[in-house]
Structure 1
């Protein structure tokens, strides 16, 4: 009976494993192999490079600039998204019709294309023809060109990313919060706790695992940011918003068509994400599962 159930389980897992193998594991291994070759995008002029691409990468200032931008982007997006989602979870912790409607409304941007959202926000933030600039001009205020400002461009892109993604985080946190037994809140009320105290001392500890999961998944997505960067700033101005994925795309498909070097940077990004994810899982999800 046990073997029969295991066979059924493998049968249902097979489609997901096939998709993961074809679109994740095979490209990952291929990128690692290609990183040791000089190869253009047309698979011509192939020659063995050994560790040459890796030595080149460590002397490439744009790689370090892109690494810095990726980290800044993640440090901007993740806290903003988590704090906003937690704050709204506190306000909409009950399962009333109004709260259901608001949660559904906040979730809508998440299911929309990041490319479409980036185009819309680029139009809204245009200092000459954008709606926001028009409203501000009516009030006698001139809107700066934020997307062409080396200091504010990455902040604006991070804010747009938060606007799109916080509904997903909010949905997960709300689902976890609604699963908390009412008896815990009643006990807290007997101790004189108000709504804020109940959220801090009851809700947050009970949804710790979900918070940790959201932190890890949001971090992985932030370090792989590309669509919004490419559409809104194309990595500018002066490479101030160029992330690692944007630089990989530039070297592999736009300027040099150097597939070997682009694969090398991809392997570098993979190890960054793997190490950070391992550390976060060890010290967040790991501790949360011990209780």
Structure 2
């Protein structure tokens, strides 16, 4: 099971907007200077919606090669077209991913039966790899209901769920599954209450530029170190005010710290 802070990695692009995998090894070395529990590639922070399938696989392969087994690489393979998500899953496995995740169907509203079928289809494409459901309703426009998720527990390779949700109440139905599967919070604002409730892993966009900060905060929250939590939350709040989780702003913060992974395709200004 995944444990600790999983970095929601940024994807490097050059000034012309082309994927620049040459920057990935140095970036991975920077991330792994902190005690992180994994690297998620091609998620929301990684700007997957701006990338072709070939680019996504090239990035996954480059991150896997750079990690070299030092931390598990979780490849995001979600796609609006289920068949393409399955192809991405197969290709990600071939590229060296250690585990897979896929966001719910997005853009068009769908019912829970379609959500169930989608995840079974994608997870079943590579039954040998652990699969994590990715629930980010504000971005995708669709959510997986707790009852629908529970129905998926019969999938042999279902390993966990990433909950990028707005309130702790939306996380609570999954807490009783802790220890059976990996339950990951994907909202940094909920990292402390999630850890205090027994959560064992978070996927953090802010860890893409400050992995040590997020690792220390999560460890302090798990250890109920109130003074450290207060100090680190204040530091995280300052970072969140600067970046608003936007890839271009995150990359600017990273650049200022001496790690340049280029430009972003998603720009806030």
The verdict on a shared fold, with TM-score over 0.5 as the criterion, is no
State the TM-score, normalized to the length of structure 2: 0.27
More helix by share: 1
TM-score by length of 1: 0.25
* Greater relative CO, 1 or 2 (CA 8 Å, sep 6+): 1
Q: Which has the higher strand share?
A: 2
